[in-house]
Amino acid sequence: EKYEEAIRAAGGIDLQILGIGRTGHIGFNEPGSPPESRTRLITLDHVTRADAASDFFGEWNVPRQAITMGVGSILDARRVILLAFGEHKAPVVARAVEQAPSSQVSASALQQHPDARFVLDRAAAAGLTRFVSPWLVGPLDLLGMEWTEGLVRKAVIWLATTLQRPILKLTDEDYNEHGLQDLLSTCGRAYDINIDVFRSMQDTISGWPGGKPGRPRRQRFSQRAAAKWTGVVRTSGTPMLPGDDPFPKRIVVFSPHPDDDVISMGGTFIRLCEQGHEVHVAYQTSGNIAVWDGAAERHAEFVEEFIRAFAGTSVTCSEGVSSVVDRIRTFIREKPAGAVDIPELQAVKGLIRRTEARAAARLSGVADERIHFLDLPFYETGRVRKKPIGPEDVAITCRLLEEVKPHQIYAAGDLSDPHGTHRVCLASVTAAMKQLENSPWAKDCEFWLYRGAWQEWEPHEIDMAVPLSPDEVRRKRLAIFKHESQKDRALFPGATDPREFWQRAEDRNRATAQTYDRLGLPEYEAIEGFVLHHG
């Protein structure tokens, strides 16, 4: 009541700035909050507490209650702006904006406000009809859009999925009855469109992600990604370039955390090594905050016991090791929630992740001298919140690229990583490539983005689909299992998915393969999808 009185005494709120939670809450107005509610103490929803868990170093540390302005208090503001950024906000933004107002989604009450605006980035807006299926909104030219190859692929796959029918079985009537008359009038008969889209999807499938030896150089992927539909005629062709495609290729796989490489592209990783390429893997961060204290204590005690077991031999310094272990043990016993680990504990956790990554890379076929640990400085805060990318991060990345001079780069494109590390790591690679763009090797370097740990590419986005056999899926799983500290339950598994990372990866890869199968393409056990980065 005092808070409400203070608002009234100040003449009301001129501008209310809001975020939106995964349950659709504004403030902490959880599902069921009535539109006339006022400032009050509220019990937090389980989903909200789970979302906040990483900021409190565990859900058990998250408060169960919070004080929030009510929905009615917010609606009294003269102007309201809601900010939402990132792929993980897309589903709830779509519910709040496009579905009927409901007390189950408190943000939907803003539809009734006379001056409310949602400010979104492209990722958070991705669930809106305007982006999911713009052809349902109206003719594309009225939206300032045109039928590019990518949009045609998206529309045809959407239609095939909606009707649960292979691409080559779609008819003119199907297009007309589902809001795609504009596509027919622009690009011609369903028969021709179906064949073009089917072939473009078929062309994405490649069992040789690094290219085959002796094959002429082609601008396959960049040509397809840049192609446009011009009236009823699509630009086509994959022009030959002078000489053979380089083989074997020098390849750098960037992994934001020490396990992202095998989780997201483990099958392709193994295949690139088996097919004879010079594969380097660069672990961009130490991943040290994602190790349980108990695991670090166990490894520290192992070192202590190891030295005692070999006392009297060339192994010495047992007193110094015991002192370090005692400091770690004492800190863990007295550690308050959210405290930054002491340097010794951070070092042990980083070594755990490093040895796990090395074991997984070896299993995948990478030589020890091609395993690189970058330890980018932006990450080393000891906290969930990291520093912005800096010149030193980019310089470290540049040095590796200049040393290897790769023909191919693979980097993480699943930007739904809840702590933003993937986004910053990708920014460091793109910034480095920008600095090196005039280097001779960089002009012909393919830059691929993978997903898998947190999200998957939509089928219309995929430029290269690498099929996996049942045996390759099993081998990928074994590589993921080398990351023992992340098994069973990782310290930061994300709030939305209870599955282990290997389960997420397999489910997503199988779902992609099933989508290709339903579209009328060959059936595989699993598929890892990649998108070509265009700067």
Which amino acid type is present at position 72? G
Q: Are residues 366 and 408 in the same domain?
A: yes
**Residue 236 included in any domain:** no
**Residue 141 included in any domain:** yes
Domain that holds residue 185: 133-204
Q: Quick one: pLDDT band at residue 385, thresholds 50, 70, 90? A: low
pLDDT tens per residue, range 144-158: 899 999 999 999 999
pLDDT in the model for residue 361: 97
Q: Are residues 24 and 156 in the same domain?
A: no
Distance CA 26, CA 145 (A): 33
The alpha-carbon radius of gyration of the chain (Å, integer) is 26
Asked which of 142, 173, 204 is the last residue of a domain, the reply is 204
Cα separation values, 334 from 325, 331, 349, Å:
14, 5, 18
Q: Are residues 468 and 359 in the same domain?
A: yes
Q: Are residues 32 and 65 in the same domain?
A: yes
**Residue 209 included in any domain:** no
Give the mean pLDDT of the chain: 88
Strand partners, 278: 250
Is 356 one of the annotated active-site residues of the chain? no
Q: Are residues 170 and 274 in the same domain?
A: no
pLDDT tens per residue, range 32-50: 999 999 999 988 888 888 7
> In CATH, what number is assigned to the domain containing residue 271?
3.40.50.10320
Asked which of 108, 129, 150 is the last residue of a domain, the reply is 129
Report yes or no: 328 and 345 within 8 Å, Cβ to Cβ: yes
Does the pLDDT value for residue 224 go beyond 60?
Answer: no
Q: Quick one: pLDDT band at residue 497, thresholds 50, 70, 90? A: low
pLDDT tens per residue, range 430-449: 999 999 999 999 988 999 99
> In CATH, what number is assigned to the domain containing residue 31?
3.40.50.1360
**Residue 300 included in any domain:** no
pLDDT tens per residue, range 268-310: 999 999 999 999 999 999 998 889 888 999 999 898 888 888 7
* pLDDT > 70 in the chain, percent: 89
Q: Are residues 418 and 460 in the same domain?
A: yes
Note the pTM of the prediction, 2 decimals.
0.84
User: Of 317-321, 373-377, 385-389, which gets the smallest average pLDDT?
Assistant: 317-321
Distance CA 303, CA 344 (A): 13
Distance CA 110, CA 101 (A): 8
Q: Are residues 391 and 368 in the same domain?
A: yes
Asked which of 204, 220, 238 is the last residue of a domain, the reply is 204
Q: Are residues 123 and 143 in the same domain?
A: no
Q: Are residues 163 and 60 in the same domain?
A: no
Q: Quick one: pLDDT band at residue 313, thresholds 50, 70, 90? A: low
Q: Quick one: pLDDT band at residue 324, thresholds 50, 70, 90? A: confident
Q: Quick one: pLDDT band at residue 53, thresholds 50, 70, 90? A: confident
Q: Are residues 370 and 495 in the same domain?
A: yes
**Residue 114 included in any domain:** yes
| Marked catalytic residue, from 5, 30, 319, 392 | 30
**Strands of the sheet with 116-120, listed across from one edge:** 15-18, 79-84, 116-120
**Residue 365 included in any domain:** yes
CB atoms within 10 A of CB 515: 21
Q: Quick one: pLDDT band at residue 258, thresholds 50, 70, 90? A: very high
**Residue 302 included in any domain:** no
Average pLDDT for 120-126? 92
Tally of domains within the chain: 3
Report yes or no: 15 and 78 within 8 Å, Cβ to Cβ: yes
Structure letter (DSSP) for residue 115: T
pLDDT in the model for residue 47: 80
pLDDT tens per residue, range 3-32: 999 999 999 999 999 999 988 999 989 899
- What sign results for the dihedral spanned by CA atoms 184, 187, 191, 195? negative
Report yes or no: 13 and 76 within 8 Å, Cβ to Cβ: yes
**Residue 323 included in any domain:** no
Q: Are residues 145 and 84 in the same domain?
A: no
Cα separation values, 466 from 248, 265, 328, 446, Å:
18, 9, 45, 16
Q: Are residues 21 and 162 in the same domain?
A: no
- What sign results for the dihedral spanned by CA atoms 45, 47, 52, 58? positive
Cα separation values, 123 from 129, 418, 441, 497, Å:
13, 14, 32, 19
